[in-house]
């Protein structure tokens, strides 16, 4: 199969509006309620010369479990990953930040992190070619279309990728619940930075931890297990957002 699929009304609308992905066709359940989102999908498809057709719900269920596709599935060309060298050149001369996912295997977590990253103004996500979830339909659905609004970089070696970023003036921040410093002790406002989030169970690998300039933790008020990786990423990302907004307010 030379295409991937996305499903759900919001994900399909986002991909159509962004216009950066090549569509094969859109499948709409012939019993789908003609609500405003279905209407918008048809209008955007016509505007972008994308073929859509009405099919039996069973055909959609064969591709995606019933209840998740919301009556809409789109067939797309596979996501285009951004080259790291191109990314670095495109962001020279301005503060930028990227998130490295070290072995995050749950596609729902990856999708949720992508969504938070886009909302927080991140410039890129770096994923390992192996040992971790790459972009698939579950990631696209969970990201609510955010996958179309950020550079996704696939790397055969996260160590090499981070070293390359360090050579280009990026500071490396590792999320580690054993760290001495809290995530809000870092000034995120005037630097390029890489935020490393580790795998759901094993955390960040030793090789990447050695490359970190800062190790930070999120304080807990109980002895309960640490936060889900997607929640932890959102907490740290929006501390950076808060600091930036506060600094901008001071300068106005």
Q: What CATH number corresponds to the domain at position 236?
A: 3.40.1280.10
In a shared domain, residues 92 and 190 = yes
Q: 79: how many CB neighbours lie within 10 A of its CB?
A: 19
pLDDT in tens, the chain (252 residues): 457 888 999 989 988 998 878 888 999 999 887 899 999 999 999 999 899 999 998 999 998 876 789 899 998 877 788 999 999 999 998 899 999 999 999 999 999 999 999 999 999 999 998 888 888 878 888 888 888 899 999 999 999 999 999 999 999 999 998 899 999 999 999 899 999 999 878 889 999 999 999 999 999 888 777 789 999 999 999 999 999 999 988 887
153 and 224 housed in the same domain: yes
- Tell me the CATH number at 20: 3.30.1330.30
- Residue 61 corresponds to which tokens in the numbers above? 């269920």
**How confident is the model at residue 18, as a pLDDT?**
85
Q: Clarify whether residues 218 and 117 are in a common domain.
A: yes
240 and 208 fall within a common domain: yes
Give pLDDT, residue 1: 45
Instruction: Looking at the structure, tell me whether residues 197 and 236 fall in a common domain.
Output: yes
Q: What is the dihedral of CA 119, 120, 121, 122, to 10 degrees?
A: -110
The answer, as to whether pTM is greater than 0.85, is no
Q: Give me the domain span that covers residue 229.
A: 84-250
DSSP letter for each residue of 10-33: HHHHHHHHH--S-EEEEEEETT--
Query: Where does a domain end: 52, 76, 100?
Result: 76
**pLDDT value of residue 5:** 87
Mark whether 214 and 119 lie in a shared domain.
yes
- Decide which of 57, 76, 95 is a domain's last residue: 76
CA–CA gap between residue 174 and residue 190 (Å, rounded): 18
Give me the DSSP letters along 29-71. Answer: ETT----HHHHHHHHHHHHTT--EEEE-HHHHHHHS-TTTSTT
User: Do residue 181 and residue 242 come from a single domain?
Assistant: yes
Q: How many domains does the chain have?
A: 2
| Domain final residue pick, 76, 104, 119 | 76
Instruction: Give the DSSP H/E element, type plus range, for residue 214.
Output: strand 214-217
Q: Looking at residue 249, what is its pLDDT?
A: 86
Cβ 174 vs Cβ 197: under 8 Å? no
What pLDDT does 222 receive? 86
The dihedrals phi and psi of 100, each to the nearest 5 degrees, come to -105, 125
* Count of beta carbons in the 10 Å neighbourhood of residue 231: 14
142, 107: one domain:
yes
Whether residues 194 and 235 fall in one domain: yes
Residues 97 and 208 in one domain: yes
């Amino acid at each position: 199969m030379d295409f991937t699929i996305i499903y759900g009304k919001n994900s399909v609308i986002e991909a159509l509006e962004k216009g950066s992905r090549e569509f094969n066709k859109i499948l709409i359940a012939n019993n789908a309620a003609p609500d405003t989102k279905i209407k918008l999908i048809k209008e955007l498809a016509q505007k972008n010369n994308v073929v859509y057709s009405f099919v039996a719900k069973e055909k959609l269920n064969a591709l995606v479990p019933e209840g998740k596709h919301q009556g809409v599935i789109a067939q797309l060309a596979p996501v285009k990953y951004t080259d790291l060298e191109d990314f670095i050149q495109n962001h020279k001369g301005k503060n930028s930040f990227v998130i490295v996912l070290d072995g995050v295997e749950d596609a729902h977590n990856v999708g949720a992190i992508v969504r938070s990253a886009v909302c927080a103004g991140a410039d890129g996500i770096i994923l390992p070619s192996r040992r971790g979830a790459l972009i698939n339909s579950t990631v696209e659905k969970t990201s609510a279309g955010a996958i179309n609004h950020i550079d996704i970089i696939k790397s055969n070696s996260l160590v090499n990728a981070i070293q390359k970023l360090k050579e280009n003036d990026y500071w490396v921040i590792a999320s580690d619940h054993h760290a001495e410093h809290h995530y809000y002790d870092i000034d995120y406002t005037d630097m390029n930075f890489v935020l490393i989030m580790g795998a759901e169970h094993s955390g960040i690998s030793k090789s990447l931890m050695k490359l970190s300039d800062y190790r930070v933790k999120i304080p807990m008020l109980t002895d309960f297990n640490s936060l889900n990786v997607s929640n932890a990423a959102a907490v740290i990302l929006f501390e950076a957002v808060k600091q930036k907004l506060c600094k901008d307010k001071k300068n106005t």
